[in-house]
Structure 1
Amino acid sequence: MSSKVVLITGTSSGIGLAAAVAAARAGWRVVATLRDPGRADALCAAAADAGVELDVRRLDVTDEASVAAAIDGVVADHGRLDAVINNAGAGHLGTLENESVDAVRAVMEVNFFGVLHVSKAALPHLRASGGRLITVTSVGGVVGQPFNEAYCAAKFAVEGYMESLAPVAARLGVTVSVVEPGAVATEFVNNIGLDLAGEVAAAGPYAEALQAYVDRTVAQFHNGAQTPAEAAEAVLEALTADRPAFRLQTSDWARDFTGVKLADLDGSAVLGLTGGWVG
């Protein structure tokens, strides 16, 4: 196990940080990547506290040259690549009438095309090692959620892409999995960078529905969120299990929530559920 190498994106905080430390503790050689190496303090501190070593490198998932340089560097320095965990992503809040299509494209660049950039560059090496391609998506990749149209669209796209890729990759020895967290107590929500009160004030005819959604979501993150370490357990399962499932949820709540959609042939159960979130 000590010779196996995993590259993880988006490790500056949250699930990515926790997964990097957990994988290193499990005996993997972990290449922990992030867009801005200047934000690696928390990652390095967590590794030191856990008594593990990480190979910290820069990787911007939206920059194909950065992705290629990182993947090539890992293989040159370590001699192999056995797994990739696509974790980097960006949150987004908005609704179609009130935002530009360019804003939606930006969400897709990070959350969908960023995953493709990394996966495409890694696949030749994963084929060589009989490796694993793991992507952290979201329950929002299964159930569409109010005011998350662009974010859920990107996560739906990732799930569809990976579900379609999985049998093709398996024919060539690569295992593909997706991990679906629910609410996780991380910096993810804060990293959206929104003034929520200002967003509600500027929402026009959507203001009442947006306020209801914000109130519900803030309460969920404050009162019912998992820790990053708890969510990372599912990522580690995808990495280490003999025969990991294609789809893994990170909690009982996430399993129940996604189960509504996966058993909902006509869509009425999902819309009945999420309709209550906006009053």
Structure 2
Amino acid sequence: MGLPKRLLLAAGIGAVAARRAFNTPYDLQGRSVLITGGSRGLGLMLARELSDRGAAMTLMARHADALERAAADLRSRGARVHTVAGDVTVQSDVDRAVQEAVNAHGGLDVLVSNASIIQVGPLANLTDDDFHEIMEINAFATLRLTRAALPHLRTRRGRILIVGSVGSKVAVPHLTSYCMSKFAVGGLAQALRAELAREGVIVTAVHPSLMRTGSPRHAHVKGQHAKEYALFATLDNLPVLSLDAPTAARRMVAALVRGDAEAMIGGPALMLRYAQALAPQLTADILALSNRLLPAPAPHDHMVPGAHAESDLTRHNPIKRRAEAEFNEL
């Protein structure tokens, strides 16, 4: 490496170090936080981490019973919690959730856009309706929430945490619609970061690798259901390949507090991102080869939830079962 390149690299590293050294961390004590998909899985873990740092929580999710279990969990830890049953694809529900967060806790400081779904299966078995559904929930809901919350976030110089995925950076086979939606989320987060900074609203995007949250049972599975689910649920619960959920939540909240533009969460996510950036052709070739090892398409487009595609391999996985119980997935 020549001297000019070394100097540029040193200057870049120095700028990052200086930013972290002199940037004042965002104090979450007493802040009002609205988190979508907050009743289970990663959303519940983020709520635990945020409330442990002193924030008052408003949880939004579709099912009231799951919300109440999550709220009871958080209150047992000393948290202040309000719940809103609603759908992030319905504008009136989004507006109501924002207003209830303001009414319950005296304002709104932080929006966490976490609610999402995952669709697993071959492209041949995914319909246009599948793509429309996942884009509405994963991508357009983030935009919808941001616009609803902005008037309140502007007045309090608030923050937005957008949960993407390693699938926001590297598209993998049999997760086509999911990756499409998460690429959109990643692009939206970058644009929002650039446009809202002048208004004092800081946007942070986090892109985690697989996490042991117990969420595969709620995945939308197509193709050869048992085989697709067995592969996805097994990979999602491998200790080396997947990340412990509390650790993931802690790193995400730390990125929010620092005001990072973007954070890859977990070693596999970071490695895949660099592989894609440094060797896109090789990465594409490896992913194309891996697709040959995945289950072939089914002769139907029928979808089942992961919980209906359980086999002995997944049903008796102790790591998976423990995560499902701990993070309110059952």
TM-score normalised to the size of structure 2? 0.74
Contact 1:6 1:31 in 2 (8 A): yes
**Counterpart Cα distance in 1 of 2:224 and 2:167:** 22
1:189 is paired with a residue whose SS is helix
Of 200, 204, 217, which aligns to 1:177? 204
For 1:252 and 1:183, locate their aligned partners in 2 and report how far apart those are by CA, in whole Å.
10
Q: Take 2:255 and 2:237, find their aligned partners in 1: how far apart are those partners?
A: 27
Shift of 1:95: 3.5
Residue 45 of structure 1 deviates from its aligned partner by 4.2
Is 1:93 aligned with 2:134? no
Give the partner amino acid of 1:171.
R
Alignment of 1:1-279 (within 5 A): 1-194=28-221, 199-200=223-224, 217-224=232-239, 225-241=242-258, 244-264=259-279, 267-278=280-291, 279=293
Distance 1:150-1:46 versus aligned 2 partners, 3 A rule = same
Bigger shift: residues 37-46 or 164-173: 37-46
Q: Note the C-alpha offset of 1:103.
A: 1.5
What number of residue pairs does the alignment pair up? 263
Distance 2:135 2:158 in 1: 26
The 1:193/1:42 distance shift into structure 2, 3 A limit, reads farther
The aligned counterpart of 1:207 is none
SS in 2 for 1:62: coil
Larger radius of gyration: 2
CA deviation after TM superposition for structure 1 residue 10, in Å: 0.3
CA distance in 2, matches of 1:262, 1:72: 41
Q: Stretches of 4+ moved more than 4 A in 1?
A: 213-216
Instruction: Please list the CA deviations of residues 17-71 of structure 1 after superposition, one character each: whole Å capped at 9, or x if unmatched.
Output: 0110111110111112211111125413431443323222223111100000111
Contact 1:234 1:249 (C-alpha < 8 Å) held by counterparts: no
Distance 1:99 1:253 in 2: 27
> 2 CA distance for matches of 1:246 and 1:46?
31
Q: Give the drift of 1:261.
A: 2.0
Contact 2:216/2:232 (<8 A) preserved: no
Structure 1 unaligned segments of length 5 or more: list them.
202-209
Could you report, residue by residue, the CA deviation over 1:228-256 in whole angstroms, capped at 9, with x for unpaired residues?
Answer: 21110122113322xx2211122122211
Shift of 1:214: 6.1
| More moved, 106-115 vs 51-60 | 51-60
1:142 deviates by 0.6
Find the aligned partners of 1:120 and 1:109 in 2 and give their Cα distance. Answer: 15
Cα separation, partners in 2 of 1:128 and 1:263, compared to 1, 3 Å: farther
The answer to whether the Cα contact below 8 Å between 1:90 and 1:188 also exists between their aligned partners in 2 is no
Q: 1:215, CA displacement in angstroms?
A: 6.2
TM-aligned CA deviation for residue 273 of structure 1:
3.2
SS in 2 for 1:31: strand
Provide the rounded CA distance (Å) in 2 between the counterparts of 1:273 and 1:178: 27
Deviations 1:175-195 (A, max 9, x none): 11111111111232210143x
Distance (Å, rounded) in 2 between the aligned partners of 1:215 and 1:58? 31
Which of 71-80 and 176-185 deviates more?
A: 71-80
